[in-house]
Amino acid sequence: MKKIYWIMTFVALFLVLAACQPETVEVEVTRVVTETVTESVEVTRVVEGEVVTETIEVTRVVEVPAEVPEEEEVMEPTSLRMAIGGTENSANPYTYRSGYPGWNMLLLQYDSLMQFDTNGVPQPWLATNIETSEDGLTVSLDLRDDVTWHDGEAFTADDVKFTVEYYKEFNHGRWTRNVRNIESVETDGDNRVIFTMTAPTPGFELATLAETPMLPQHVWESVDDPDNHVFEENIGTGPYKMVEMVLDQFYRLEANEDYFAGKPTVDELVFVQFADDAGSLAALRTNAVDMIVTGVGPEQIAILGGVEGIDVAQGPEFATDMINYDIGRAPFNNKDVRQAINLAIDRQDLADTVYLGAASTGSAGWIHPSHSVFNDAVVTEYDPERAMQILDDAGIVDSNDDGIRELDGTPLSFEFIVDGGNSLRLRTAELVSQMLAEIGMEATVQAVETSTWEEAVWPGFDVAQGRNYDMSMWGWSAPVQANAIRVWQLLHSSPDLGFLNLTGFSNERADELSEALTTEVDPEAIAEIMDELQEIIADELPFVLLLYPDGAYAYWSSVYDNWTFMAGQGVFHKLSFLPEEARP
């Protein structure tokens, strides 16, 4: 078995994923100004029978080319309109929608202690220096001294201490888990923070320091119900301030001119909500929006790329398309059924048909083949004949010749729910349904509203609340796959550790390995744990990973061309709205 050892900072990983920078479209810009000019004009007229020629003065307003310095030929827009696919509620750290683009939109308003660079590697941001003790139990940070909140109050170490303690007191599905290994926080003056850890924490920079938004103590200290509290305004330290929102319609953000990293490149960002990607595409083509935040389908890449003034930025990402099922329900509690489903799916056909080749086929062991901890001993097969043989051997047969097999007298017939606003996943589900029909399973595809789909699979974004579905198309945004040790979050049977375990999977050995992964810092030991976990996933199939889609983002380059592709994240993120010299 080939071993590729774990690189804690993921530098090697992200450099493998070449950042795909959008091409520049040259736009000829002609500007004019008006001037008043006076000219002498000869006129001829007849006076008392004689032809007389006279010269008179005529004043008129004309347009003349403006003198524009070459470097200012293309001006940054004062306002940028972007399409989003769903509500972000009131878009503060306790109300935003989990996943993409919610987190990216949130961090336009708020900052974290570290910031991902374009290679996806955390760099100092609000914190200027991070030191970790040899035993991994003490992390000390020095903070910038020139940062203010949107309301003018200074950002200090007290805000960092408050943020950690607040997330611990008021549970949030993402932030609370990011700070769970911090035992205590101490401050040393206004600009130094010391974290004492309960145990060494792999990925501490990636999750806790680079993902987690800081909260202003003077705003949040009186809030004791953050899930339902209505703020008059969102106060962060970020490059943009939320100045207007009409839920289910739009959000408007204005540039924070006092931003410590430099004035943002666009004065105003307007996020317009659309019910589906068809609406977003129509708005882009008619220039009603300048960019589609959530990306475009592969069939649109060549079409939109052929429109003068529109570019499509493409690049590899770690987002996932996958099948989830309630593993506690029949027939999915039967391992033979899960193995048959996995073998029946032609992943290459899905990649070619749905994504027109702009996707990588999924590994049955979850981890992307380009990842530094990928276990190349895990083989992902397409073998419908073997799938049918497994079912036959288990006595799961079609006894009445209706095309559907029965398990303990019950037909293998179930509902397959999909987010109706995602046409690519809907098409994927339809093809998967056809593939399963070939081996005697009836998966009835049901397109439902986004909120209905989320509530069925992940009620309240809290796995402790259970689940209410048979089978579902699902997917995780890039950070879950990129930070590979987070796999324990999808596997552990305890809701406290397995807070992304949406299938109810429970396996004693997976629990043991997952717990070890939360504290292990030795690269060789981590690689061995990751190898075994991938083998367990490929064998037990708590979910079926289908594809890793590429990212494709369409925008009017003739309006704004400062987008920068971040490995694993695409082009919609904080750095795309900062001058190049301000980026980490």
Q: Which two tokens stand for residue 403?
A: 């095309």
User: Is 533 inside a domain boundary?
Assistant: yes
| Domain membership flag for residue 472 | yes
pLDDT at 392: 97
Q: What residues contact residue 238 under an 8 Å CB cut-off, 6+ apart? A: 107, 108, 109, 110, 111, 256, 259, 574
Any domain includes 116: yes
**Tell me, what CATH number does 457's domain have?**
3.10.105.10
Give the separation between CA 130 and CA 137, rounded to whole angstroms: 13
| Contact between 122 and 114 (Cβ < 8 Å) | yes
Distance CA 525, CA 126 (A): 32
What's the CA gap between 203 and 516, in Å, rounded?
A: 14
Instruction: Specify if 478 maps to a domain.
Output: yes
Domain assignment present for 294: no
Residue 192, φ and ψ in degrees, nearest 5? -140, 135
Residue 53: predicted pLDDT: 61
Q: How many domains does the chain fold into?
A: 2
Asked if residue 289 belongs to a domain, the reply is no
Location of structure tokens 């972000």: 88
**What would the 3-class secondary structure string for 532-556 be?**
HHHHHHHHHCCCEEEEEECEEEEEE
Q: 3-class SS at 65?
A: strand
Mean pLDDT of residues grouped by 10 in the chain (584 residues)?
35 36 34 48 52 54 44 66 90 85 93 92 95 93 97 98 97 89 96 95 87 97 93 95 93 96 96 89 93 89 90 86 97 98 98 92 93 92 98 97 96 96 92 98 96 94 94 89 87 93 97 91 90 98 95 93 85 94 92
Domain final position from 220, 244, 274: 220
- Could you tell me if 326 and 191 lie in one domain? no
| 512-536 residues labelled b (16+ CB within 10 A) or e (exposed) | ebbeebbebbeeeebbbbbbebbbb
Q: Nearest-CA neighbor of 127 among 152, 147, 110?
A: 147
Q: Are residues 210 and 341 in the same domain?
A: no
Residue 48 confidence (pLDDT): 54
Per-residue model confidence (pLDDT) at position 63? 44
Whole domain around residue 120: which residue ranges?
Answer: 111-220
Q: Is residue 35 one of the residues assigned to a domain?
A: no
The last residue of a domain, from among 220, 242, 270: 220
Q: Which two tokens stand for residue 104?
A: 């990216």
Mark whether 395 and 504 lie in a shared domain: yes
3-state secondary structure of 272: strand
Q: Are 540 and 517 in contact (CB under 8 A)?
A: no
Query: Which candidate, 138, 110, 289, 276, places its Cα nearest to that of 204?
Result: 138
Mapping DSSP to helix (H, G, I), strand (E, B) and coil, where does residue 326 land? Answer: coil
Domain termination site, one of 188, 220, 252 = 220
pLDDT at 336: 98
Residue 407 lies in a domain: yes
Token duo for residue 581: 């010299």
Which residues face 60 on adjacent strands?
37
CATH label of the domain that carries residue 115: 3.90.76.10
Q: What is the pLDDT of residue 3?
A: 35
